[in-house]
Amino acid sequence: MRISHLSSHNSQTVRLLQITDTHLFADPNGCLLGVNTVDSFRAVVSEIQSQDVKFDAIIATGDISQDHTPESYQRFVDGIAEWPQTCYWLPGNHDYQPEMQSVLVKSTLERCEVVLVGEHWQLVMLDSQVKGVPHGRLSDEQLAVLDAALSKQAGRHTLVLLHHHPLPAGSAWLDQHQLHNRDAFWAVLDKHTNVKAVVCGHIHQALDTEHNGCRVMAAPSTCIQFKPDSDDFALDTTTPGWREFSLHQDGTISTKVGRLQGTEFQPDMHSKGY
């Protein structure tokens, strides 16, 4: 089990910035359903900087690349290069892990399974990718990592992170691509009392709900957004964004979603899928 440590300047609160589903291309003109993903990613980073968002670390929850190229992953590295904070990342269904491992180990980016955060929290970073398909599944090994981390650090509040959503989001077309062994995932969590929230990407929309007494949250994509509560594939005109977290020492979580203003990054609303 790969373990990292994250210290905070504030002993009371640790702040995280979630960036997800950037879907970057090697080609700087690469577009996903009408949106130039490099430009929208850069615009999100610029907006975060202009708002002077404070954070101790970045959590990148998958689908960093759309075309599997090392150049696309390098675009992500370059995009966050001005930030000295560590970026903890995990793979999504669109990612190609050999290239991720070769490019995203540079600079301040780090792939680990457990991050001990300050004195009171830990992050458990899971790999839910099933190679070649859009849905997710946690292997027996990943479930064992989760169980062991929760047992070993029973006194720490825990944020569990994975790419795929571990419960239905309310859109039939999208929910067929959720975490397929979610019952096994929740069975592990139900054995422990220290999990405060689960955070995912994948659904290209903001989500903040509860399941079995545990908060479940997702962030907007930095490019296209999927329309909530839609049985068939549908895009949304809501703008690209990110999510901010404040993890407090008493186990509570404050969070908010930030978005770009304006209408610059509107998708092709006639798209039937991707």
Indicate which CATH number applies to the domain containing 191.
3.60.21.10
pLDDT number for residue 67: 95
Structural domain for 55, as ranges:
22-259
pLDDT number for residue 37: 98
pLDDT number for residue 129: 96
Q: Is residue 264 part of a domain?
A: no
pLDDT number for residue 269: 82
Q: Is residue 69 part of a domain?
A: yes
Strands 157-161 and 195-200, how do they pair? parallel
Q: How many CB atoms lie within 10 A of CB 29?
A: 8
pLDDT number for residue 206: 97
For the chain, residues with pLDDT lower than 70 are: none
CA distances from 164 to 25, 103, 204 (A): 21, 23, 11
Q: Is residue 2 part of a domain?
A: no
Give the pTM.
Answer: 0.96
Compute and round to an integer the Cα radius of gyration of the chain: 17
Q: Is residue 165 part of a domain?
A: yes
pLDDT number for residue 155: 95
Both structure tokens of 72:
């696309």
Q: Is residue 235 part of a domain?
A: yes
Q: Is residue 5 part of a domain?
A: no
Q: Total domain count for the chain?
A: 1
Which contiguous run of DSSP H or E holds residue 161?
A: strand 157-161
pLDDT number for residue 50: 97
Q: Is residue 189 part of a domain?
A: yes
Q: Is residue 271 part of a domain?
A: no
